[in-house]
Structure 1
Amino acid sequence: MNRFGNPDRNRAVAAWLFATAVIVFLMVVIGGITRLTGSGLSITEWKPIMGAIPPLNDAQWNEAFEKYKQIPQYAQINAGMSLGEFRGIFWWEWLHRLIGRLVGEVFALPLVFFLLCRAAPPRSVFRQWAMPDRLIWRCVVLLALGGLQGLIGWWMVSSGLSERVSVAPERLATHLGLAFVLFAALIWTGLEAWSGQDHGRPPAGWARGAGLLLGLVFLQCLLGALVAGGHAGLVYTDWPLMNGQVLPPADWSLGAGALLHDQALTQFNHRMVAYGLLIAVTVYAFQAWRWRVAEGMGFGAFALAGAIWAQALLGVVTLINAVPVWLGVLHQGGAAVVLALATANLWLVLRAQPRIFMSGPRAMGR
């Protein structure tokens, strides 16, 4: 909690930001279930307010089902589906959208409260809840990005309502990518609110290394979304080769679009970046242990390395089992955990205080 003598931090604000991040994580997990169960196109309209109310009687359920029957997914994949089966996929998509609305309310309402507390008298009990000046613009940007996420979600869904039987992979990657940006930004801003202004002196080169790892993790998340959107994980289910080849024939007639839509190429890219990320994080963790350049850096490095190795192994298991729902959801949730650890690791590095006495060759001036 903010103390009157320390207006630079507010742990109530931090707790609110961390709680919002948890709900975003839940939304990512539910989004994975929605995608893997083929539920994402079951609601064919976007009603930001009235859409929170599900069908309440048989007539409304039949109306929603009839609208679903008009899209290609029903005609080409789910023809003959019963009303009961439709309800099963409808509820997953409705829950996903409901959590999206919940995120908006959980973020917007406390934000207004924390901002209003700034107008309270200096010694008022409400003053201790005031948001630090330097966090205001960040939270306003996060609120705007949350609203944008709702629009992008509908933009994604609309791509599968007329000519496709699923959403466009690049739109899925955009939607999931922005969710991950919000998730990481909430964690970062929460850490800033918890600890106050950054006064660290990051060791030379380590901030770049931690930043590179965070960038690679985020890139890998986007590549995973392209694999999921193109259903490439259902086509090439062997490892370490892909149908017995390093790179199966790709459809290069798509031009640059092959990077987004070709199943062989999207999975190949996802695998290659995974290998590069494993090598990079292993070297990073080893160097952090070897040089011991700052307090706390070793823990962050090893936590991140362990999570990335676990996520890679989980990815292989998910692949060779042809992406069952529970493994696919676990893998998507694992990506969010890795991103959270990469974010926290960079934050720790930027706040690190170099050791006065270091062990290893560098301490001897070598």
Structure 2
Amino acid sequence: MRSPFKSSNSAIAQAGRKHRRTARLPLRSPTVAAWLFAAVFTILVLLVVGGATRLTTSGLSITEWKPISGIIPPGSDAAWAMEFANYKKIPQYTQLNPHMTVAQFKSIYWWEWSHRLIARLLGVVYLLPFVFFWLMSEIPARIFWRSWVAIGLVAFQGLVGWLMVASGLSKRVFVAPEMLMFHLGMAFLLLGWTLWTGLEAGEGEARHRGAPFKWRLAAGIIAGLVYLQCLLGALVAGNQAGLVYNDWPMMNGSFVPYTDWGQGIGMVLFHDQGVVQFMHRMNAYLLWTLAVFFAFLVSRRAQDSGLQLLAWAVAGTATLQATLGIATLYTQVNFWLALAHQLTAGLLLTLSLILAWSIFRAERAFRRSGFS
């Protein structure tokens, strides 16, 4: 008969070994934090290139998904002719670009190829340093699973990107707006997850509750509204809604655009150009108002100049983003303004998350605050 004491001793020994392995791991790692911040920077670059790819209508120029062999671009006239022949089979060519030449095709192909190349590079930026830091026992224990989640999100984002492209290859001249929203939303989710994990890795585990709950809730709501604004912006872009209702603050002379609700609520909310632009505007007004009001409260009631600066940085970036949005409308989606608008969205989300994280970590800054 097996002795229960042996099983107990074995379990205790195993637990001890696990504890010793965990004890050898650092509580914080500025090096791991730097790696994750580099990944955030790469995501921002990818967002800009992705925005340029969309604005130049280049996203459907590569009609196949080849995760490995697709790294190598066409190297001969015959290879270019084959790629162009594949593009000629989709509705975007037959309906929008029937007179396109091979030279013109190459210009849109390189944008999409660059976008996919940087996406592959992003996978390398996540995976290789993770393996290295793992082998070197450099990753704090509480950061380890979060890093795995980030790597999983990168892989899933690649699949979502292809599904988005596939949505525009048969019955559409552009990708489905909801798929563009899904793809961009995943990119911003990955950015936020990576940024928060990097901040945690650099500072170590919190030893206190942070700021009072109402302050944390307010900061979280602002970051959530920024994320929602990014999703709504993707719907505007996917429906080419920036090309209509190019007046402001009215929409073709009315505050609320005409809407045919007979299309069905799902069709209206995801595909009606007036409605998606109206939702984008309304959320922008709410976000800007709360960001400025919150910065005012923080500057008056927080005894931390760093938090005050961050709060006003969020409010200022929200103001810049709104201004860029209006200018993009007035110019009927000028390329550079639209690109700046997308980049500023990423910067605004980054700043709002840093502010939220800092308030979640603030221990004494609000102790004499009336907002508690």
TM-score normalized with structure 1 length: 0.92
Partner of 1:174: 182
The aligned amino acid for 1:24 is I
> What are the Cα deviations for residues 180-229 of structure 1, in whole angstroms up to 9, with x where unaligned?
01111111111111111123421241000000001100000000000000
The partner residue of 1:332 within 335, 339, 342 is 342
| CA RMSD across the alignment | 1.7
Q: Residues of 2 paired with 1:246 and 1:350: CA distance?
A: 38
- Residue equivalent to 1:305: 315
SS of 1:296 mapped into structure 2: helix
Alpha-carbon contact 1:296-1:348 (below 8 Å) kept:
no
Equivalent residue for 1:150, pick from 153, 158, 162: 158
Find the aligned partners of 2:337 and 2:366 in 1 and give their Cα distance: 46
- For 2:353 and 2:165, how far apart are their aligned partners in 1? 29
Q: Which position in structure 1 is the counterpart of 2:59? A: 40
Matched residues, percent identical? 50
How many residue pairs match? The answer is 348
Aligned equivalents of 1:356, 1:116: Cα separation in 2: 41
SS in 1 for 2:170: coil
Counterpart of 1:291 (choices 301, 318, 321) is 301
- Residues 30 and 92 of structure 1 are in contact (CA less than 8 Å); yes or no, is this contact kept in structure 2? yes
Partners of 2:366 and 2:169 lie apart in 1 by 62
Relative to 1, partners in 2 of residues 1:295 and 1:205: Cα closer, same or farther, differing over 3 Å? farther
Q: What SS does the corresponding residue of 1:224 show, helix, strand or coil?
A: helix
How many angstroms apart in 2 are the aligned matches of 1:214 and 1:177? 14
CA drift of 1:255 comes to: 1.6
Does 2:170 correspond to 1:162? yes
Paired with 1:355 and 1:240, the residues of 2 have a C-alpha distance of 39
Deviation digits for residues 298-336 of structure 1, max 9, x if unmatched?
Answer: 122111111101110111011101111111111000000
Q: Residue 5 of structure 2 aligns with which residue?
A: none
**1:253 corresponding residue in structure 2:** 262
Q: Do the aligned residues in 1 keep the contact of 2:211 with 2:366 (CA within 8 Å)?
A: no
Contact 2:143 2:201 in 1 (8 A): yes
Supply the distance in 1 between the matched residues of 2:178 and 2:260 (Cα, whole angstroms): 17
Offset at 1:291? Answer: 1.3
Residue identity opposite 2:332 in structure 1: A
1:68 corresponds in structure 2 to: 87
Structure 1 residue aligned with 2:233, among 197, 205, 224? 224
Match in the other structure for 1:126: none
Please tell me whether the aligned partners of residues 294 and 353 of structure 1 are also in contact (alpha carbons under 8 angstroms): no
- Mapped to 2, the partners of 1:178 and 1:133 lie a distance apart of 25
- Asked whether the equivalents of residues 91 and 171 of structure 2 are also in contact (C-alpha less than 8 Å), the reply is yes
For 1:123, the equivalent position in structure 2 comes to none
Larger mean CA deviation between 243-252 and 72-81 belongs to 243-252
Quote how far apart the aligned CAs of 1:355 are: 4.1
Is 1:114 aligned with 2:122? Answer: no
Aligned counterparts of 1:210 and 1:357: Cα–Cα separation in 2: 17
Give TM-score, length-normalised by structure 2.
Answer: 0.90
Correspondence 1:189 to 2:208: no
Structure 1 stretches lacking a partner, 5+ long = 119-129
Query: What SS does the corresponding residue of 2:73 show, helix, strand or coil?
Result: coil
Aligned pairs for 1:321-360 (under 5 A) are 321-355=331-365, 358=368
Larger Rg: 2
Q: 1:121 maps to which residue?
A: none
